Amino acid sequence: MSRLRTLPADDPGLAAAVARMLDGGPAIAPLPADPGAATATLAMLRPDEPLVETDAGLVVGTSGSTGEPKGVVLSRAAIRAGVAATHARLGGTGNWTLAVPAHYVAGILVVARAVAAGTSLFAVDADLHDLPDQSGLDTGSSERNYLSLVPTQLVRALDRPDVLSRLARYDAILLGGAAADPGVLAHARAAGLTIITTYGMSETSGGCVYDGVPLDGVTIDLHGRGDPEAGGGRVSITGPVVFSGYRLRPDLTAKVLDGATLHTRDRARWDGSESGPSRLEILGRIDDVVVSGGVNVDLAAVEKVLKELDPQGAVVGVRDPEWGTRIIAAVTIPTTLPELRARLHTLEPAAKPLGLLRHPRLPHTSSGKIDRQELIAWWTAGPAEKEVL
């Protein structure tokens, strides 16, 4: 049996390793640049143990922002299918700019797309300060230019005209990893950015639904209606982009994978349109529906309203002896809990936050997602100002 090759995500030889992998060479696992995170990832991956999946190409560590970190095994066929479907949807191959960490699926798939297409790959810092200008991009007549971002990067770019002007030169910007605020999207598009929202995960070789429409070869099924008050159905994804299993965890694999079908923990509905195809609208996680004071509350729906006031805000639920689950709003704006509850007047009383965390910058994972486990830890003891109803 073959073994897994690990290397830092910022290793200069990463693209070459991806090229060898796609040609049948050793499977690789990119590691976080942070030494502590790399050590934890290595402990989870156990690279000295053989690979049981014969066509394994990449093993990508999940962020662990909402649960146990896992190693997601992607076959070479799944990677190639995701690359081909992306380029088909975008209108052709192109050069790619790597602006997200390559140890996550969004980053390593950027590398794989450029390698598979034989096009240029540019690496920039996550804050986008060194984003190429027109002269720095390969703007030949036959090549387009693409990059992937997470919403946090886009939000911060909106206050930087120099970055916005450079982003506007890209033929497409894939935005994924977390829900994007509609106001932020409208602002970015008004500034001339070609934003394509994506839905997917490590287990689907990255984004597999673009602007609500599944990529070619991907089928989305919604099962049941979830909680009656929350609405939506549980998302299942079938197609060639689906992963092979979790590294050395057949128990976890069996819970979510049925052949080529992945059963997610996400809730969604189809938003029908007379002028175009129905589009998938992600409503949140099945786990987002909590009971607070005896009433079912959809945390994702609460957060959607909160983001109208604070695009960088977030909502979490913490266990509470009085309420069962206490709903906590985490914000970056100056406000008090009574003021915030008054401004969230469209929410039902049971859905209004019962606690407030206030800090100028909320914690994020290195992939750009809100670190909800860290927010819950902040509620117990953390740097944020705290208010309780």
- Three-class DSSP category at 258: strand
Q: What pLDDT was estimated at residue 270?
A: 92
Instruction: Give per-residue pLDDT as tens, 234-264.
Output: 999 999 999 999 999 999 999 999 999 999 9
DSSP-derived secondary structure for 18-71: HHHHHTT---EEEE-SSHHHHHHHHHHH-TTSPP--TTEEEEEE---SSS---E
251-268 b/e (C-beta count within 10 Å ≥ 16 → b): eebeebbeeeebebebbb
Where residue 229 falls among pLDDT bands split at 50, 70, 90? very low
Q: What pLDDT was estimated at residue 145?
A: 95
CA distance 26 to 71: 16
User: How much is the CA Rg of the chain, to the nearest whole Å?
Assistant: 21
The answer to whether residues 82 and 105 belong to one domain is yes
The answer to whether residues 156 and 237 belong to one domain is yes
Q: What pLDDT was estimated at residue 228?
A: 43
The answer to whether residues 238 and 369 belong to one domain is no
Q: What is the DSSP letter of 134?
A: T
The answer to whether residues 257 and 278 belong to one domain is yes
Name the domain boundary from 241, 259, 284. 284
The answer to whether residues 159 and 52 belong to one domain is yes
CA 369 to chain centre: 7
**Mean per-residue pLDDT, 226-241:** 77
Name the domain boundary from 255, 284, 313. 284
Q: What is the DSSP letter of 127?
A: T
The answer to whether residues 56 and 175 belong to one domain is yes
The answer to whether residues 202 and 301 belong to one domain is no
| Containing structural domain, residue 121 | 5-284
Whether 157 and 151 have beta carbons less than 8 Å apart is answered as no
Number of domains, the chain: 2
Residue 3 has pLDDT above 60, yes or no: yes
The fraction of the chain above a pLDDT of 90, given in percent, is 72
What amino acid is encoded at 20 in this protein? R
Name the domain boundary from 234, 259, 284. 284
The answer to whether residues 184 and 315 belong to one domain is no
The answer to whether residues 236 and 297 belong to one domain is no
The answer to whether residues 166 and 83 belong to one domain is yes
Number of residues that make up the chain: 389
CA distance 385 to 389: 14
Q: Which two tokens stand for residue 35?
A: 């030494």
Q: What pLDDT was estimated at residue 369?
A: 78
Residue 379 has pLDDT above 70, yes or no: yes
CA distance 365 to 65: 7
Q: Residue 239 maps to which CATH number?
A: 3.40.50.12780
Q: What pLDDT was estimated at residue 134?
A: 65
Q: What pLDDT was estimated at residue 329?
A: 97
**Mean per-residue pLDDT, 22-33:** 95
Q: Residue 307 maps to which CATH number?
A: 3.30.300.30
Q: What pLDDT was estimated at residue 68?
A: 67
The answer to whether residues 108 and 204 belong to one domain is yes
Q: What pLDDT was estimated at residue 24?
A: 94
Instruction: Give per-residue pLDDT as tens, 53-110.
Output: 889 999 999 865 445 679 999 999 999 999 999 999 999 999 999 999 999 999 999 9
How crowded is residue 78: how many other Cβ atoms within 10 Å of its Cβ?
24
Instruction: Give per-residue pLDDT as tens, 122-177.
Output: 999 999 999 987 666 765 556 899 999 998 899 899 999 999 999 999 999 999 98
Residue 195 has pLDDT above 90, yes or no: yes
Cα angle at 243 between 242 and 248, to 5 degrees? 160
Write the CB contacts of 196 (distance below 8 Å, at least 6 apart in sequence).
90, 172, 173, 174, 175, 210, 211
CA distance 235 to 240: 17
Q: What is the DSSP letter of 184?
A: H
Instruction: Give per-residue pLDDT as tens, 254-307.
Output: 999 999 999 999 999 998 766 667 899 998 888 888 899 888 899 988 999 999
Q: Pseudo-torsion of CA 201, 203, 209, 214, nearest 10°? A: -170
Instruction: Give per-residue pLDDT as tens, 32-69.
Output: 988 988 998 999 999 999 998 889 999 999 865 445 67
Q: What pLDDT was estimated at residue 226?
A: 46
CA distance 128 to 279: 31
The answer to whether residues 310 and 329 belong to one domain is yes
Residue 320 has pLDDT above 50, yes or no: yes
